[in-house]
Amino acid sequence: MGVFLSALRTLLAANPEVTATLQVNTSGATYDAEALLAAHADVLGSDRVSCLEGDLETDIYMRELAACDVIILPYGPAYDRQESGILHEAAAWGCAVVLPESSLANARLKAADIVTMPTFDRWTPASVAAACQRAIPIRGPLGRTMQSAADVLNGDFTAERLLDRLGLS
């Protein structure tokens, strides 16, 4: 989480129009979460950052996800070869994603041969921030292309079908 919070600090400083929504769930943390959050109090306390804590109800999660222009897939080195539910949700909603170059999620997008999203090749704040910076000016076209990729990635599992399945339509 520290890598993302530090990257966000860089993005907020460089882009006055950027806002962010973070879901922070430290319940199973194996690190000193309190110290990490305290070290990033400036980011978390910014009026441009909305911090959602803990597990979210499905309707809140979907509402927040649907409002995003760019989603950073939170896959650190230990997790980047796992399947990504967030990738499929982002595609269904037409959200651009920023993801690790080496991730299974990126391999899925490459296999679809429809869209190339900004990636980061190192697990550092500078690399993550640079990938996000590349996504910001082209987030609209990336999102539209991502929605086209949804059919390939998700089959007929679109945002509308997701809402239907959740009883929220």
What are 52-96's pLDDT values in tens digits?
Answer: 988 889 899 888 888 888 888 876 777 777 878 888 888 888 888
Q: Mind giving me the DSSP string for 67-117?
A: T-SEEE----TTTTTS--HHHHHHHHHT-EEEEETTSHHHHHHHHHTS---
Higher per-residue pLDDT: 10 or 163: 10
Where does the pLDDT of residue 166 fall: very low under 50, low under 70, confident under 90, or very high at 90 and above?
Answer: low
Residues paired with 21 in a beta bridge: 50
Where does the pLDDT of residue 153 fall: very low under 50, low under 70, confident under 90, or very high at 90 and above?
Answer: confident
Other CB atoms within 10 Å distance of the CB of residue 23: 16
Where does the pLDDT of residue 161 fall: very low under 50, low under 70, confident under 90, or very high at 90 and above?
Answer: low
Token pair recorded at residue 20: 């962010």
Query: Phi and psi (nearest 5°) for 109?
Result: -65, -40
CATH of residue 130's domain is: 3.40.50.2000
Q: Kindly report the pTM of this predicted structure.
A: 0.82
Lowest-pLDDT range of 31-45, 107-121, 132-146: 107-121
pLDDT tens per residue, range 103-138: 888 888 888 787 788 999 999 999 999 999 999 999
- Tokens 């990636």 -> residue: 119
**Averaged confidence pLDDT in the chain:** 86
Residue 23 has pLDDT above 60, yes or no: yes
* CA gap 22, 156 in Å, rounded: 29
Query: Which range marks the domain in which residue 57 is found?
Result: 2-166
The whole-number pLDDT of residue 157 equals 52
Lowest-pLDDT range of 20-29, 71-80, 151-160: 151-160
Where does the pLDDT of residue 159 fall: very low under 50, low under 70, confident under 90, or very high at 90 and above?
Answer: low
Mean pLDDT of 17-46: 91
Number of domains, the chain: 1
CA 63 to chain centroid, in Å, comes to: 14
Q: Cβ(112)–Cβ(153) under 8 Å? A: yes
